[in-house]
Amino acid sequence: MKNKKENDIYSVKEELFKEIEQNEHTVFRKPIPLKMVIHTYDIDDSELIKFLRHYGIDHEKVSLYIHQALIKHENKTLPAVAFDNDECGFILINRNFKGYSVSESITTLFTSGSTLDLFEDFMDFVAALSFYRKRVISNQTIVLNSLKNLDDRFIINLAKKYKTINLYLKNSDEGKRAAMRIIKIHPKAINRSALIYPGHTDFLSYMELQTAKKRKRRNPDIARK
């Protein structure tokens, strides 16, 4: 039997489902045509928690930056990790898909200082928080959410504003080319991707391997399976 809180949540979901059926603007852009249902509270779905822990990410320690959303996908209601962007939309991910609502706009996280941490992907951002054991950012932070948002004008503006830029892009060909473009315009930019996780696609895959190694050290029987 549902308690009052659960009943309230489900009644909101039902109303939003009715609204979503009539509102084409809620549909995700391609390649994944998802529909946003409700932007909820803190992450409490066991599968999402397990998904994040697989990468060594404690959802409670990064709860300032990520939330839980319910989305409608292929006639199913599914939970997803949600990350806000600057256009009041969300970047969404769970174990089976990655999508977005409204747009793939950048996410700007403000604090004081003249150093910028620049990430390509929000999961790399929260992986970095876990790696550095931080709950709150210490530098100005921008998450691109897509390399499409990185043009020369954007880079020039960053170079004017920040003395130092730490680059946490992916070690893909596209990510490496983007890092080279930034360093060419801003020589004090530092490619942390090449320093911290060389040989790995991104910060997230690096954290995945490190977490697996820790798990094996704690339970040697896992290594023999």
Domains annotated for the chain, with CATH where assigned, are 4-101 (no CATH), 107-209 (3.40.1360.10)
Q: What was the pLDDT predicted at 82?
A: 93
Judge whether residue 50 has pLDDT over 70. yes
User: Within 10 A of 43 (CB to CB), how many other CB atoms are there?
Assistant: 22
pTM tops 0.85, yes or no: no
If one compares 205 and 23, the residue with the highest pLDDT of the two is 205
CA dihedral 52, 53, 58, 62 (to 10 degrees): -20
Segment 128-176, tens digit of pLDDT: 999 999 999 999 999 999 999 999 999 999 999 999 999 999 999 999 9
Q: What was the pLDDT predicted at 7?
A: 40
Q: Which of 150, 224, 146 is nearest to 189 (CA)?
A: 150
Contacting residues for 32 by C-beta, under 8 A, at least 6 apart: 73, 97, 98, 99
If one compares 34 and 73, the residue with the highest pLDDT of the two is 73
DSSP string of 111-177?
Answer: -SSSEEEEES-HHHHHHHHHHTT-SS-SSEEEE-SSGGG--HHHHHHHHHH-SEEEEE--SSHHHHH
Share of the chain above pLDDT 70, in %: 80
